[in-house]
């Protein structure tokens, strides 16, 4: 890890699992339902558009995009996670990469028609979240879209984590970084009525 980046606590978790995802609390082994729902409405077919999945974990969101015809790049800070992605999806054409959010390849800047951020920012300590959102915003191409899926913390609650859940207003860091807000939907988490999740789409003109 770079000295100016938050601690990588993910490698230990992924190094201790296998393709079943056992022991990884967030591993559902399917694409995020809110991502699938949004894609069905907005981008049912990728038609070769470039897509990047931030913090791809075991790769299910990336696989969903690839099956829809996107040209997909997916990265995670955990080398063990990327090894498992390659093992789980050997037949899909996906550019799996090990990378840190704060040390991504320069060629990725402004390179992707669709960027998917699924609960990665909330894995960062609060002091790093604004910088993380700026780094993610930089990946979006002109006329491209950023899709953010994040858990919300209750009004007035202090951020405690990991994960350090967000408040909707904190996502304004994406617009400060040069994107335009296009869509915000807040819904209750299934089977957990006291929790909420946000789906936010941003664009770059």
Half-sphere exposure at residue 64, Cβ-oriented, CA atoms within 13 angstroms: 20
Q: Note whether residue 24 is domain-resident.
A: no
Comparison of pLDDT for 4 and 15, the residue scoring more: 15
Range with the lowest mean pLDDT among 75-89, 111-125, 167-181, 185-199? Answer: 185-199
- Its pTM surpasses 0.85: yes
Residue of 146, 149, 152 whose CA lies nearest to 164: 152
Q: Note whether residue 153 is domain-resident.
A: yes
| Residues 137 and 179: beta-carbon distance below 8 Å | yes
Residue of 160, 65, 188, 68 whose CA lies nearest to 199: 188
pLDDT score recorded for residue 47: 96
Q: Note whether residue 44 is domain-resident.
A: yes
Q: Note whether residue 27 is domain-resident.
A: no
Residue 130's CATH number: 3.40.50.150
Range of 144's domain? 32-203
Is the pLDDT reported for residue 8 higher than 80?
A: no
Q: For the residues of 112-158, what is the DSSP string, one character each? A: EEEEEEES-GGGS-HHHHHHHHHHHHTTEEEEEEEEEEEEEPPTTPP
Mean pLDDT, residues 84-112: 97
pLDDT score recorded for residue 60: 96
Confidence of residue 6 (pLDDT cuts 50, 70, 90): low
Alpha-carbon span 44 to 46, nearest angstrom: 7
Is the pLDDT reported for residue 13 higher than 70?
A: yes
Q: Note whether residue 3 is domain-resident.
A: no
Q: Note whether residue 108 is domain-resident.
A: yes
Is the pLDDT reported for residue 168 higher than 80?
A: yes
The number of distinct structural domains making up the chain is 1
Hey, CA dihedral for 46, 47, 48, 49, is it positive or negative? negative
Q: Note whether residue 26 is domain-resident.
A: no
pLDDT digits (tens, 9 = 90+) for 101-153: 999 999 999 999 999 999 999 999 999 999 999 999 999 999 999 999 999 99
Alpha-carbon span 75 to 73, nearest angstrom: 7
Alpha-carbon span 59 to 49, nearest angstrom: 18
pLDDT digits (tens, 9 = 90+) for 40-74: 999 999 999 999 999 999 999 999 999 999 999 99
Q: Note whether residue 43 is domain-resident.
A: yes
């Amino acid at each position: 890890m770079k000295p100016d980046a938050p601690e990588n606590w993910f490698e230990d978790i992924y190094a201790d699992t296998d393709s079943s995802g056992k022991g990884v609390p967030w591993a559902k082994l399917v694409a995020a339902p809110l991502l699938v729902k949004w894609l069905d409405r907005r981008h049912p077919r990728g038609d070769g558009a470039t897509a990047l999945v931030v913090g791809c974990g075991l790769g299910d969101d990336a696989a969903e995009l690839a099956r829809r015809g996107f040209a997909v790049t997916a990265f995670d800070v955990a080398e063990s996670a990327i090894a498992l992605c390659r093992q789980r999806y050997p037949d899909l054409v996906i550019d799996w990469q090990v990378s840190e959010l704060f040390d991504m390849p320069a060629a990725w800047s402004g390179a992707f028609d669709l960027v998917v951020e699924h609960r990665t920012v909330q894995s960062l300590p609060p002091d790093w979240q604004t910088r993380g959102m700026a780094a993610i915003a930089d990946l979006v191409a002109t006329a491209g879209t950023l899709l953010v899926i994040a858990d919300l913390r209750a009004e007035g609650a202090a951020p405690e984590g990991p994960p350090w859940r967000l408040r909707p207003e904190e996502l304004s860091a994406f617009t400060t970084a040069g994107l335009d807000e296009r869509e915000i939907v807040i819904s209750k988490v299934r089977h957990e009525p006291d929790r909420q999740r946000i789906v936010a789409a941003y664009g770059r003109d």
